[in-house]
């Protein structure tokens, strides 16, 4: 039984305090006459890393549409915190993700099998016991089949995760990722108002002076509250303290207006890795060997994003294709709409397809026309304006999971015949 209830686990402790990860134990329905049901196999899962300019946000800031997707498809969902500036910069956040990966690989299987020993059960709208027991019967989580999804600052961490984590994630999804930290004067001035559909006039009124990361917006939006409650998400105000959250958002807005956010992050994180340079082998900072080939990746961005430059995404995808030339050549043979020149958004540095994405594509990228930063913050599965976009991403993600599952099943069958 799938449930939106979650448990909260401590994955590491820092001088500033413990860092937590939430686990929502969604599971797929049992298929009748499925031979694998008698031999439980650990489940693929999604790890979500929140955005917030490295200054704000928390593990609670997961998009509603993603929770709905995981619930419907039966993908367990992990949402993690990491340290934030100004007390810790992007390099510290990356160190936290590495600790989280070790926790998922070494500690989480035991925690699941031990019925959540050491876990704090948070209140929600559905009972947890049955869902947790179902997750145990399925064999828990398969750390070799993790889909890392990062938004904004979390996209930076996801990009590094695809390159450097061992074992590498099954695939990587990035939403309007921060992929570079420009020097002073090159950071764009941004309007931090969230993207709202015209029909949500009440939401727009509430959001007039907030940023897209402000969780209070999710708490107050009737259509989002209803969607979150439907899948069992806790709809309480998620921040540990609203005053602290508002101060952090205020700091981000002040730095953005002064074109000083990225220089400040560089100051707070002198050893921060540049994902584009890491995958192209030109990073001057020592790091672990880069995963080859890079895992399948899906990036989406808004064409009107005035906070995170689209060109940084273009540079990253160009470097990725250049360092994975064989996989890129196979992608170029696929007959999807993203291959036609009419469906590409032209820039001085390249182009990114914004048409239909073939699910078998290894390097997929979509530009949403006229969408600005965090345009998906208030989306649900019922949003007609972006149903096609969510459907494409879901088909791509499910294909990657099922393709790997088919490979694993073939390998098991081969071993049994030996």
Q: Concatenated DSSP letters for 253-278?
A: HHHHHTT-HHHHHHHH-TT---HHHH
pLDDT-based confidence at 152, cuts 50/70/90? very high
Q: Which residue has the higher pLDDT, 22 or 381?
A: 22
| Cα-based distances in Å from 277 to 115, 274, 281 | 42, 5, 6
Q: For 319, phi and psi rounded to 5 degrees?
A: -65, -35
The vertex-168 CA angle with 162 and 172, nearest 5°, equals 40
What residue ranges do the domains of the chain occupy? 7-417
Would you say how long the chain is, in residues? Answer: 418
Whether the CB-CB separation of 165 and 101 falls below 8 Å is answered with yes
> Tokens at residue 100, please?
């989280």
How many other CB atoms are found less than 10 A from the CB of residue 326?
A: 8
Q: Which residue has the higher pLDDT, 185 or 291?
A: 291
pLDDT-based confidence at 232, cuts 50/70/90? low
pLDDT at 184 over 60: no
Q: How does pLDDT run across 18-43, given as a tens digit for each residue?
A: 999 999 999 988 765 555 556 678 99
CA atoms within 13 A on the CB side of 274: 18
What is the model's pLDDT at position 230?
Answer: 60
Q: How does pLDDT run across 105-129, given as a tens digit for each residue?
A: 999 988 888 755 445 544 444 455 6
Q: How does pLDDT run across 346-362, given as a tens digit for each residue?
A: 333 333 444 567 888 89
Residues paired with 13 in a beta bridge: 18
Q: Specify the range with the lowest mean pLDDT, choosing from 24-38, 87-101, 138-152, 355-369.
A: 24-38
Q: Which residue has the higher pLDDT, 338 or 84?
A: 84
Q: Which residue has the higher pLDDT, 200 or 265?
A: 265
Name the CATH superfamily for 7-417: Alpha/Beta hydrolase fold, catalytic domain (3.40.50.1820)
For the chain, the distance separating the N- and C-terminal CA atoms, rounded to the nearest angstrom, is: 36
Put simply, whether the predicted model's pTM sits higher than 0.75 gets the answer: yes
């Amino acid at each position: 039984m799938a449930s939106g209830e979650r448990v909260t686990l401590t994955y590491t402790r820092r001088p500033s305090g413990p860092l937590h990860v939430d686990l929502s134990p969604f599971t797929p329905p049992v298929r009748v006459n499925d031979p694998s049901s008698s031999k439980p196999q650990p489940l693929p899962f999604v790890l979500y890393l929140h955005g917030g300019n490295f200054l704000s946000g928390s593990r609670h800031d997961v998009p509603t549409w993603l929770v709905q997707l995981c619930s419907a498809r039966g993908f367990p969902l992990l949402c993690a915190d990491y340290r934030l500036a100004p007390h810790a910069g992007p390099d510290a956040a990356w160190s936290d993700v590495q600790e989280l990966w070790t926790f998922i690989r070494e500690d989480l299987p035991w925690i699941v099998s031990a019925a959540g020993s050491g876990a704090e059960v948070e209140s929600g709208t559905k009972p947890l016991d049955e869902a947790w027991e179902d997750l145990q019967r399925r064999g828990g989580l398969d750390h070799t089949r993790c889909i890392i999804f990062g938004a904004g600052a979390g996209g930076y961490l996801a990009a590094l995760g695809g390159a450097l984590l061992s074992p590498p994630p099954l695939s990587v999804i990035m939403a309007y990722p921060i992929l570079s930290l420009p020097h002073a004067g090159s950071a764009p001035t941004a309007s931090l108002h969230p993207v709202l559909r015209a029909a949500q006039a009440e939401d727009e009124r509430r959001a007039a002076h907030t940023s897209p990361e402000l969780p209070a917006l999710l708490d107050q939006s009737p259509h989002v509250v209803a969607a979150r409650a439907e899948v069992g998400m806790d709809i309480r105000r998620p921040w540990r303290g609203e005053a602290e959250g508002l101060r952090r958002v205020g700091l981000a807005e002040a730095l953005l207006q002064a074109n000083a956010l990225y220089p400040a992050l560089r100051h707070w994180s002198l050893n921060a890795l540049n994902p584009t340079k890491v995958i192209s082998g030109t990073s001057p900072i020592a790091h672990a060997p880069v995963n080859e080939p890079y895992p399948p990746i899906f990036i989406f961005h808004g064409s009107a994003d005035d906070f995170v430059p689209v060109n940084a995404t273009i540079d990253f995808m160009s470097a990725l294709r250049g360092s994975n030339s064989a996989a890129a050549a196979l992608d170029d043979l696929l007959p999807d709409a993203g291959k036609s020149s009419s469906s590409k958004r032209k820039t001085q540095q390249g182009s990114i397809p914004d048409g239909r994405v073939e699910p078998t594509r290894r390097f997929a990228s979509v530009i949403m026309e006229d969408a600005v930063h965090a345009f998906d913050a208030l989306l649900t599965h019922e949003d007609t304006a972006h149903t096609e976009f969510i459907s494409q991403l879901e088909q791509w993600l499910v294909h990657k999971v099922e393709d790997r599952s088919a490979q694993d099943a073939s390998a098991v069958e081969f071993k049994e015949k030996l």
